[in-house]
Amino acid sequence: MATPYDPHATGVSRRYARLSDVWARRDRLCGRILLPDLAEELGIAYHDAYHALRRLGRPGRGTRR
């Protein structure tokens, strides 16, 4: 999501995004399964789920070594 950067006069930088873009991003992310939730649902540790998925690799991409 593109966020314009605004250096504020007080030295606190701020980023802005349109609310409609934020809602669209939120709606896309709601359809995804997060790894901690998956591990809990399977009854395994996060660490084990992470390494199992790393061994599987990503479809269409080579595995990094």
Question: If you average pLDDT over residues 3-16, what whole number do you get?
Answer: 69
> Does residue 64 sit within a domain?
no
Amino acid at residue number 10? T
> Does residue 27 sit within a domain?
yes
**What pLDDT is stored for residue 18 in this prediction?**
84
Residue percentage of the chain with pLDDT more than 90: 28
On whether the pTM is more than 0.75, the answer is no
**Domain extent for 49:** 5-56
DSSP assigned state of 11: S
> Does residue 52 sit within a domain?
yes
Triad 63, 64, 65: Cα angle to 5°: 120
Question: If you average pLDDT over residues 52-57, what whole number do you get?
Answer: 89
> Does residue 25 sit within a domain?
yes
Cα–Cα distance measured from residue 65 to residue 61, given in angstroms and rounded to the nearest whole number: 12
**pLDDT tens-digit readout, 34-52:** 899 999 999 999 999 999 9
> Does residue 16 sit within a domain?
yes
Number of domains in the chain: 1
> Does residue 63 sit within a domain?
no
